[in-house]
Amino acid sequence: MSLGIEISEKCSGHGRCYVLEPGLFEPDDEGYAVALRTAVTGEADCASARRAATACPEGAILLTEVG
């Protein structure tokens, strides 16, 4: 399975995604989330992306199935 990752304009900079999953997300200079990859593969990375998306209070992490 592969998941596409996108950060929407809803991001308020809470930082939960990059605190929980620093291998997938990092803060920009203003504290807003940046996805380090546009897609992830494998169960572990997909689970990490889902965990970050679930933790986002704004629902700003958009995941889509790829392939």
**Model pLDDT for residues 4-37, shown as the tens digit of each residue:** 999 999 999 999 999 999 999 999 999 999 999 9
Please state which architecture CATH assigns to domain 2-66: 2-Layer Sandwich (3.30)
Ordered by start, the domain boundaries in the chain are 2-66
Q: pLDDT band for position 43 (50/70/90)?
A: very high
Q: For residue 4, what pLDDT is reported?
A: 96
Q: For residue 7, give the nearest of 29, 30, 37 by alpha carbon.
A: 37
